[in-house]
Each structure stands twice: as structure tokens, then as C-alpha cells.
Structure 1
Amino acid sequence: MVLAACATTVLTTVLAFRMRSMDRSRSDPLRLALTDRSVAALPFSGGGQYIARDESLPGFFVMVGARSKTYYAQGDLWQGSQRRSVKVRIGGVDDISAREARAEAKAQLAAIAKGKPPEGSVAAPKPDTGPTLREAWARYRDVHMERRGRSAATIASYKDHVERMLRDWLDLPLMTLGENPRMVADRHDKMSQAHGPYAANGAMRTLRAVYNHARKTCRALPADNPTFGVDWNVERRRDTAMGASDLPRWFTEAGRLRHPIRREFHLFLLLSGSRPGALLEAKVEHVNFGKRLLRIPNPKGGPSRAFDIPLSRPMMRCLVRAMRASRLMHPKEARTWIFAANSGVGHLVEHDEKRDTLFKWGNDLRQSYRTLGQACGLSEIDMHLMMNHSIPGVNAGYITRAKLLGDHLLTAQENLSRFIIDMGRVRRRNELPPERAWPLLPSRKLGDPVLDPTPPDPRVGKGYGGRPKGGGPAPTAPRAKPVGAVADDWDVDIRPRYLAGASRR
């Protein structure tokens, strides 16, 4: 009896010490061998409940309240791909022994493991599954992207990835994706087949960014991003730039474009290396001919990356011709936009050309600008500054771009524009002279029958004059104008208006 009393006293002391430790750190639950003696020695809670888990049988525990102690079994019930935690009451300490409760707990846990919910089971409190993809995307868009001034084009690209390519996952909890990386990897494989390797990679990069942002405020999400298991498609940079030897062909094809505003837009892309999306939104108020600068207020990266493009003389001629053509074709829109059009927003929207009409346009011209800058002998840092790229290295980071615009960068831009224009007008032996004075054409001579002849009119089968006999492209069959087409996206003959405008001046 004395030994039993001593053992009970020692056990009570140990339990009291462990209870105090548990109070100091609630993250470490109480674990011990659940026997009749150890359970009887557990003190009742002063308020609320606490759990003492068995150290040898996971899922078996006793819940101690202020006046009672009860045995429970708890396990994860899988039904298909869904998992939920269920809890089964086995009995009170006064009604069943610890040994019997342990045997019953084993039976209940075995049934749960087989996917059979036991009778009388109670669903455990639902764990925090975190936000759905829809909720996480909305917060990422509003809090992260818009607040940091990301451009509308960047936000639209991310939106397309989430709301179109991952549309059926919008109401899926991120917890499900985090715990099933194979599900994400399989989806990437399917999208690679359906949408192409580049689009699939882009969608997964967007998902990765949204998940990482959501985990900052929901630590219950798995630490490993579910895109970690994706086998990324190989992406190769598109080598579509022109060299100096390609420029004569490009200038010939660009000069034959019948839409003068689009023609000047393509030329300015080549001379500035600007991104097409930013240049489409160029306004008249953004041009400062006195300082020879064109302001780009909302480039890639948002307004915080706004910068000025130094204007060479060929670039200023190009802008003046574009503004003059805009006033003649779209007088109302030309008050605001440099490259005006009869579109919903008032400026050019589409700038695509058929490759057999103009073999390089859009971002091809930006790559060409960088390539030709290297051929012209400009330094790498100068090209970074002129294209508004970040400069690598601590030392180069000390450079203040605005202090170089008025002299150094303007000189570099002038040299590069002269190189591009000169190389574009080079002719091999026995080749005919250039068909037109463009791109050195003064704005008042737009549409001039000698200096800026239009291509042969398919309706009359001959040109407007000014081209040497036998020169120029052959007459082509007329194309049917699509329903709803506007001057922005259709070749138009505005020569009579050009000449009328020139005669008034």
C-alpha cells in the first residue's frame, strides 16, 4: 500500500509538472501512456478543456474537462479525393477502462482508415483551407498589382491566365492545390498541348505568384508552392531582329503601305525601339519638340517606370508626318492622339500587317533597334538607357538617366537613326533608285505623286505617277472591305485630301 501511494504521488507530481509545461507552450500537447492510473491522476481543468494524447496509439486521446474525462478516437476519413477529420466518442472514464477504450479506439481507427465513417462519429472542426483561387486572385490583383501601379496590359495578361485558362479552378481552395502538386503538374501538361508551351508556362507563373502572395496571410497553406512539381517547357527567345542588310527591303515595303499613319507608326518603332503598346497611347501633349523628347507615361512596369525618349531629327520628321496625316484623316481624334484612328479609343489599336506586305513589325522592330544599335557601335549601357532597361551592377546603377537626355543620349540616338536611314537607302549595283523620298519626306509632301507615290491602284490598274517605268509592284486584285472595317485597319487612299491640305498651305 505504501509503494502504491508513493507511485501515485510521483505520477501526480510528474503530471503536474507536465501540465505546467503545457501551459507555458500550448504548441506541445500532453502525451503519455493512457492507463487507468495515469488517467485518474490527470487533474480536472480549471476552465475549458484540454487533451492528453496516448503516446503509442496516434488518434487515441482523453479529453479532460472541469468535471469529466472522456476517451475519444480521431482520424482522417478519405472519400475519393476529399479528406475530412472525424472524431468518435468511446466512453467516459467511469464507464470504461483504459484497456477497453484502447481496443475500441483501434477498431474505430481501422474503420476510418478503410473509408467507412463509424456510427456516432462527429466531424472535427473544419481545418483552415485558406482562400479559393478566385479570392486569392482578387486580393493579389487589388492589393499587389493595382496598388503597385502595374500596367493595364500586365493585369489583363494575369487575368486571362486565371479567369480563362484556370476558370474551372476558381472556386477550388488553394489548400487543395497545395496538397496535390501532381494535380497542378498534370494541368500544365494539358495546357501545353491545348494552348502551347509558352501560354502554359505563363499560366503556371501566374498561379505561383498568386499562391505565394496568399500564403503571406494564410500560414496554413503548405510551404512548398504547388508549381514546384511542374516540368517547365523550354522557352527560346525569338530571334526576329533585322540586320543592316535587311533594311532596304523593309523601307521599300514600309514605304508602299497605303495607310500613312500606320506607316509612320512602324517607322517610329524602328527608330525608337519602343514597345508597341506604349507607343499606341502616345498623345500630342507628350511631345516636347523644344527639348526633343517624347514622354512615355505608362510603360511596362507602370507609371513608376515613366521615361522620356530622345528624339533624333528623323524621329521628329516621323512624328510631324504622323500628326499631319492624323489631322487630315481624323481631325477630332488628332487633337489628342499622335497616331489617331477612327476607333473606340481614338488611336490605333491594331498594328499587325501581313508578312508578305511588311515582313517585320511590332516587337520585331524593338529587337531590330537593339541589334542595329550594336552594329552602329553604341555601348551596352547606352542601349540599356535608351530602351529604358534596368542597368546591371552597382556602379552602373549610379547613373542618372535624366541628366544624359539632352546631350549624350540625344547624340547616340541621332547616330543610330542616321545609321538606320542610311543603311535602308543603300542599293546594290543595277538596282533601281528608291521609289520615294520617304522616310526623309517633309510632311507637306505626303502623297506627292513624285516624292511619295502610292502603289498602283487596283481599280484603275496603274499608279499615280512618279515611279520609273517598270518599277514598283505589279497591280493586285482588289480586296473586299470587311463589314465594320474602319480607317484604322484598312488601306485607304487619302491622296486627294493630302494634296488639298498642301494646296491650302
Structure 2
Amino acid sequence: MRKKLTPKTIEALPPAKGKRYEVWDELLPGFIVRVSSKGRKTWHLCARINKRRRRIKIGDYPILTLGEAREKARSIMRAAQLGRYVEKAETEDESGASTLGELVPQFIEFYAKPRNKDWKGSERILLKFSSLYSRPIDQIKRAEVVRVIDTILANGTPYRANRALAAIKKLFAWCLDRGTIEVNPTAALKLPTKEVARDRVLNDRELVVCWKAAEAEGFPFDKFTHMLILTGQRRGEVAGMRWSEIDFERAMWTIPAQRTKNGTQHTVPLAPHAVQILQAVPRFLNSDLVFTTSGKTPISGFGRHKARLDAEVGASDWRFHDIRRTVATNMAMMRVPPHVIEAILNHKTGIVSGVAAVYNRHAYLEEKREALEQWAGRIAELISKEASSRDASANSASLTNKGMVVSLPTGTS
């Protein structure tokens, strides 16, 4: 990271949570303070000497104050530019400064966590490059990164290879911005696999079977799956639903910004059927979580739940996220306007943008309610039709078993 180094800043720097980290001075280019996991602070200078980039250890804090260390750094830079600097034992090759393994925790802490809610996913995907963790960051070659990506591809996971490359490219770009490296070896490196946007939509039969199969699961997955279908919201948002987010009087669910993918507070009107489902959910004492089996954490085990649904649906090529696309597709068929569908899904696609997006933040509430109630009615209709069809089949089978065959008059359809 870069900061204007002051005595107060230096004093307040916390010990590293993982490996050491560095803070680069905004006033004097190349002047750095390095902080270890034990809180030790050392002064360094990165400078080009005799046409080679070097890291020079200046001394330790507080033995050398900020002013003294900065002045010593200036003297070294001045001598180097005049060709008078003589390299000493304290000079380190810049390549030995920080390894990839040392920089990954810093990248996660200072870059990924503040910007990405799925920073743990980034942390996991960067483990794919653990074979390079011992390598100095500026010695890692483009070919080495490509070899790791090729290994992931060879394991039959092309999309994971894309995610891994995207993660390491961000890390190298972050290092370049901080001045840790001079050249990004992954610059202009293309994704190994062209991704095809998913277009899977559950048909009416699959939707009904999914609903009924979830019903047979019992709490909490029955009501969780039903709310997923009725609201069209993301799996994590529904699974993490809080009682404090629900206004039963107004039949409204407000998802706070910190729980939405795009960081924008989202209001979801609840159809009467959705309200009935939530009112039937058992509550854990002193717990704000709606879907939980412990009262402490939201439900998990979606993979096992999905496998059981697959067996009933008769297909495994769908994901929970495809339910959102199914809801949107059906709403479009019901002639719900695109901007209302986008508002229900909490998408930012440019249909409403600029100043209008700011002033329309709380708009379309009634339109969203009408669309979601219409959708809930459609679900009820599909389930009712399926039940009637099942009853009719059962009656027909019963009559046949009794030897009663009913013939329709000629011409009757």
C-alpha cells in the first residue's frame, strides 16, 4: 500500500496478520517501511543502481527515526545518481524482497477483503499457485503461470482455470501498482477458455417437481426452496435471510446492502403465499436467522439437497441460480416490463441508469409487488394442474383395475 509516512502513521502500523507487509512512502519514491508479524519495522529503499534494481536495508525503527531513515535514503539515491554509491552487504537483490507466498495474504487483506465479498474464494483459488509461493514475485515468469493454468485445464475444470488466471492477474496488477514489481508477467494473457453464458431455464414440469420434492424434504430446505422460487433472489440472500429484515405488516423483505451482490439495499415485496411460508417457519430462541438448524449459522449442505432434487427432477444440468433465470423468463412471458424484472432481481444492467437510477432507487415497488404476486399465482396454478392431472390418472387407473372401460362417443375430443 502507499501512504504519506508520518511519525504517527509509523507508530500506528499494526503487526502483519500473516507474513510481513510493506508501506511505500508517497513523498519519497522507493522508500519503504516493512512490518513483520511480530511488529518489527524496518526501513528499506528500492532504487536502480548500476542499471539493476536493488533493495537496500537502511535500518530498524525506532533506532532510526522516520526523518533519519528518509534522509539516509535520499543520500543513497543522490550517490547512486552521481555514480558514487558503493554497494554494501546490506544491499539485497530486489528479487529476494517478497515471495508470492508472502504477498498473497497481503493481497487478500488489503485488496480483496475491502472489494470482494467472496474474498475467501479468491484466497482458495490462489492456492492453485502454491507451487510458486516460494518464488520471489519479480522472478515469476509468464510461462510458469501458464503451466499452472494448463494443469488446472488438464484436470477437466476449464472455468476454474479462468478464475485462477483472473485472480493471479489481479494480484500481479496490485503488485505493479504498489511498485513491488516493475513488469506484470500476466499482462495481456488471455483466458484459456471461452465461457458460454448459461441459458438453462426450468420448464413447468421441472419447476413443479422441484417444489414438490422440496416439500418432501421438510424443514429447512422445503421452505428455503419455496422462497427461492417465489422471490427469485440469490441462494445466499435467501439462505441468510434475517427476521429483522422482514416487515410482516407491509409484506416486505429488505435485504441490506452488505448482503447483496452489488452492494445496494434491495426491497422485495412478498406475495401472500410467501408470507404464509415465513409465518410457518419455526423460530430459534435469540436467533435472527430464518433458515438455520443451529440458530447460529445459516443453512448449508446445498449440494446434498440439490442431489436429492436432481433425482426427482430427472436432470442434474441445472443450478439453484437457474431458478432466477426461470423466474425472469416466466415474468417476461407474463408481459412484466423488463425494468420491473431487473428491479426484482436487483440487477444493474443499464435499463435504468445515471440520475434516473439514483432517483428510482425506491421506485417500482407496486410494480414489483404485482409481478411477484402474479408469479406466485402462476406457481399455484401449475401445482394445482399437476395435482388434478395426478388425481385424474389415479381415477383412470382405478376404473381400469375394476374392469370398467369408459368409451367416449364418436367425435368427442
* Corresponding residue SS for 1:229: coil
Map of 2:38 onto structure 1: none
Do structure 1's residue 251 and structure 2's residue 205 form an aligned pair?
Answer: no
Residues 1:160 and 2:124 are matched in the alignment? yes
Q: Matches of 1:267 and 1:287 in 2, distance apart?
A: 16
2:372 pairs with 1:420? no
Q: Is the 8 A contact 2:128 2:148 kept in 1?
A: no
Matched, 1:348 2:308: no
2:135 alignment partner in structure 1: 172
> How many pairs were matched up?
316
Q: SS where residue 226 of structure 1 aligns? A: coil
SS at match of 1:336: coil
Q: 1:332 — aligned with what?
A: 285
Q: Counterparts in 2 of 1:309-328, with a 5 A limit?
A: 309-321=268-280, 323=281, 326-327=282-283
Equivalent residues in 2 for 1:266-345, closer than 5 Å: 266-297=225-256, 298-301=258-261, 304-321=263-280, 323=281, 326-327=282-283, 331-332=284-285, 335-342=287-294, 345=296
* Residues 295 and 319 of structure 1: CA distance in aligned 2, closer, same or farther (over 3 Å): same
Q: Residue 247 and residue 195 in structure 1: after superposition, are their counterparts in 2 closer, same or farther (change >3 A)?
A: closer
Taking a change above 3 Å as real, the CA distance of residues 434 and 232 of structure 1, as seen in their structure-2 partners, is farther
TM-score (norm 1): 0.54
Shift in alpha-carbon separation, 1:143–1:339, aligned structure 2, 3 A: same
In 2 relative to 1, CA 418–182 (structure 1 residues): closer, same or farther, beyond 3 Å? Answer: same
Give structure 1 stretches of 5+ with no counterpart. 1-25, 31-46, 52-62, 71-86, 88-121, 436-466, 472-505
CA offset digits 1:384-411 (Å, max 9, x no partner): 1111111316756613454225422212
Cα deviation code 1:188-208 (max 9, x no counterpart): 111111261111111111111
Indicate if the aligned counterparts of 1:174 and 1:221 stay in contact, CA closer than 8 A: no
Q: Which amino acid counterpart does residue 133 of structure 1 have in structure 2?
A: L
Q: Deviations over 1:307-343 (max 9, x none)?
A: 221211122122122x2xx24xxx437x422123147
Q: What is the CA–CA distance in structure 1 between the aligned matches of 2:187 and 2:239, rounded to whole Å?
A: 35
Q: CA deviation at 1:357?
A: 3.1
How many angstroms does 1:157 deviate by?
Answer: 0.6
Q: Is residue 2:324 matched to residue 1:373? A: no
1:253-305 deviations in Å (ceiling 9; x for gaps): 333x1313211111110111111112111111111012221122333437x32
> Are 2:165 and 2:191, in contact at CA under 8 Å, matched by a contact in 1?
no
Q: Does structure 2 conserve the Cα–Cα contact (< 8 Å) formed by 1:274 and 1:366?
A: yes
Q: Which amino acid aligns with 1:370?
A: A
Residue 213 of structure 2: SS of its match in structure 1?
helix
Give me the whole-angstrom Cα distance separating, in 1, the residues matched to 2:98 and 2:395: 70
Counterpart residue identity of residue 175, structure 1: D
Q: Aligned pair 1:211/2:172, yes or no?
A: yes
d(CA) in 2 for partners of 1:404 and 1:219? Answer: 47
Q: Which amino acid aligns with 1:347?
A: P
- Quick one: structure 1 residues 280 and 127, their matched pair in 2 at CA, closer, same or farther if it must change by over 3 Å? same
Q: Which residue of 1 aligns with 2:348?
A: 390
Deviation at 1:426, TM superposition (A): 2.5
Distance 2:294 2:352 in 1: 47
Counterpart AA for 2:157: G
Structure 2 contact 209–312 (Cα < 8 Å) conserved = no
Match of 2:196 in 1: 236
- Identity, % of aligned pairs? 13
- Aligned AA (1:176): Q
C-alpha contact (below 8 Å) 1:136/1:211 kept by paired residues:
no
CA contact (8 A) 1:372 1:420 kept: no
Q: Tell me if the contact between 2:162 and 2:191 (Cα under 8 Å) persists in the aligned partners.
A: no
Name the SS of the counterpart of 2:150 in structure 1. Answer: helix
Whole-Å Cα distance in 1 between the matches of residues 220 and 138 of structure 2?
Answer: 52
Structure 1 306/225 Cα, relative in aligned 2: closer, same or farther at 3 Å? farther
Q: Distance in 1 between matches of 2:113 and 2:186?
A: 25
Q: Structure 2, unaligned stretches of length 5 or more?
A: 1-46, 52-77, 399-413
Q: CA deviation at 1:176?
A: 1.9
RMSD between aligned alpha carbons?
Answer: 3.7
Q: Deviations over 1:347-395 (max 9, x none)?
A: 3212323211355662232222222222222222111111111131675
Deviations 1:410-440 (A, max 9, x none): 1222222222332343349x822499xxxxx
Larger CA Rg, structure 1 vs 2: 1
The structural deviation recorded for 1:64 is 6.7
**Structure 2 CA distance, aligned partners of 1:468 and 1:361?**
35
Residue 128 of structure 1: how far off its partner (Å):
5.5
**Of 216, 219, 231, the match for 1:260:** 219
Preserved CA contact (<8 Å) 1:185 1:230: no
Change (3 A) 1:235 1:64: closer
Distance 2:251 2:285 in 1: 25
Q: Deviations over 1:122-148 (max 9, x none)?
A: 998624666432343323322223334
Contact 1:296 / 1:307 at 8 angstroms: preserved in 2? Answer: yes
Change (3 A) 1:250 1:349: closer
More off after superposition, 138-147 vs 312-321: 138-147
- Equivalent pair of 1:240/1:367 in contact (CA under 8 Å): yes
One-letter amino acid of the structure 2 residue matched with residue 196 of structure 1: T
3-state SS of paired residue (2:217): coil
CA distance in 1: counterparts of 2:383 and 2:264, whole angstroms: 32
Deviations along 1:75-127, one digit per CA (max 9) or x if unpaired, are xxxxxxxxxxxx9xxxxxxxxxxxxxxxxxxxxxxxxxxxxxxxxxx998624
Aligned to 1:357: 312
Aligned residues of 2:112 and 2:122 also touching (Cα < 8 A):
no
